[in-house]
Structure 1
Amino acid sequence: MFAKLTIAVVAAALALVHVKAETHTVSFTNNCGYGTPYLWGQNGVLYSSGEGSYTSDGPLLGLISYLQNGNCGNDGEGCTTVEATLENASNSAADITLISPHEFSVTSGFGFYGGCDGAGEDCTSADCPGAFTDPTNGLIVSCSEPNVNIAITFCD
């Protein structure tokens, strides 16, 4: 009985160590001189509303980020959004969306760092060629490096 309990405790501790081993940071730079960067997660969880960065000890799934300029809805409606998923279990990925009800609001871009450095995308105008304007087009940038981070810049 004691041996089974010890094995169970060790297994649980190892599982916690494995989960804590995954970490991701989302960094923001706002060069616009106005607005506030927002970072939302799945199920409407607001992770960050400000400058600087947000770090998670675990995967970050279904992220939506935008510069709140007073005209954006909670999911970035009416604004340019950067969408991302950062996780070690599969490829991390990010894109820029202008799919209605989203629309171009400010120059926005992202880039991975801490792995896949240099991979990213920028949207500098309403006719942004890499952005999704409907569900069938656009560029998804992926990264298979563990613990990858993403930098999001507004008005670069």
Structure 2
Amino acid sequence: MSSLFIPVILLARVIAVNAEEHIIRFKNDCGSGTPTLVRGGQILPLSNNGGYQDFTSTNPFESAIAYLQTSDQKCLLNGENCVLVEMNMNNPSCPGCGSSVDLSLITPHKYQDSTAFSFWGGDGTCDGLGAVCSDPNCSTAFHQSNDNQVQRYCNSNNVNLLITFCGPQTTGYTPAVANSLSSLSNQAGQPSHAVVSLTPPSTPEPQGGQTSSTSTTATTVATPPSEEHTTTATTHSSASPVAAGTPKGKTCKVKARGRHGRVH
């Protein structure tokens, strides 16, 4: 083989190793309404994928929001009047610098339909980790700007996100599959959370519509950030998933959403 081709091959391998991709997948079981994904003040196009609607990003996908637009267009562009899903999807540059997702009911956002999210894909360590809000007073969503315990973190590369509307789940946090890295913090003296029967997807398609047999109150799986979740662009620290009994500490700075419940 000519030596001229060796650098090209090596470059291709580096690009393949460093490639980043995140799928934002929607499952709407409400019978009406339109899943809506917004970033930078723009509604992004979704592609149909069987019973799902997908958006694929080949770069970090940060400061984005999602909601279910009602048939009467009740939700405004930034999700006002509806349950909001806020997301930062990115490969971690250090322990604790990965993806972060939460639900928000901070005014002017309001409850309209059951909304859930869960991570899937990547290396499989975060499969199923997420939260469900099935009532206006759900303890799994932001009601005040300092409810940082509701944020869910994943430190897996190329992790994806499944957002489900009107699913059968009851309000609670959903743990990752057994023995996954992100579920170990459940064993570190934390109260138990909503028990969900989840297995890693055998194909790129996640297992939507999982059911929960237990309603739970608000508790924490990941260590919440030390600084308040604010309405302005700030940074906060989060802890990476660690083995049971291992102290958690600040590891690095991660980017918070630009304005809570708002996009520019």
User: TM (normalized to structure 1)?
Assistant: 0.85
Matched, 1:85 2:83: no
Matched residue, 1:155: 166
CA deviations 1:68-118 (Å, max 9, x no partner) are: 001000010000011111001431010000011101011000000013012
Contact 1:38 1:65 in 2 (8 A): yes
SS at structure 2 position matched to 1:102: coil
Residue 105 of structure 1, aligned match among 112, 125, 130: 112
Contact 1:36 1:49 in 2 (8 A): no
Structure with higher strand content: 1
Contact 2:89 2:99 in 1 (8 A): yes
Matched residue, 2:157: 146
SS at structure 1 position matched to 2:15: helix
Matched, 1:47 2:44: yes
Matched residue, 2:62: 61
Q: Distance in 2 between matches of 1:29 and 1:57?
A: 21
5+ residue gaps, structure 1: 1-8
Matched, 1:117 2:120: no
- The Cα RMSD (Å) is 2.3
Q: CA deviation at 1:25?
A: 0.1
Aligned length: 146
- Return the letter of the residue paired with 1:87: N
Q: CA deviation at 1:52?
A: 1.1
Q: Distance in 2 between matches of 1:128 and 1:151?
A: 19
Q: Distance in 2 between matches of 1:20 and 1:31?
A: 36
Q: CA deviation at 1:18?
A: 6.6
Contact 1:40 1:48 in 2 (8 A): no
SS at structure 1 position matched to 2:45: strand
Matched residue, 1:129: 139
Moved over 2 A (4+): 16-20, 48-51
Identity %: 38
- Closer/same/farther in 2, CA of residues 85 and 79 from structure 1, 3 Å limit: same
Contact 1:19 1:58 in 2 (8 A): no
Q: Distance in 2 between matches of 1:125 and 1:142?
A: 23
- Return the letter of the residue paired with 1:91: G
Identify the range of structure 1 (47-56 vs 91-100) with the bigger mean alpha-carbon deviation: 47-56
User: TM (normalized to structure 2)?
Assistant: 0.51
Identify the range of structure 1 (141-150 vs 17-26) with the bigger mean alpha-carbon deviation: 17-26
Q: Distance in 2 between matches of 1:88 and 1:68?
A: 29
Q: Distance in 2 between matches of 1:48 and 1:140?
A: 26
5+ residue gaps, structure 2: 1-6, 168-264
Q: Distance in 2 between matches of 1:112 and 1:103?
A: 24
- Return the letter of the residue paired with 2:75: C
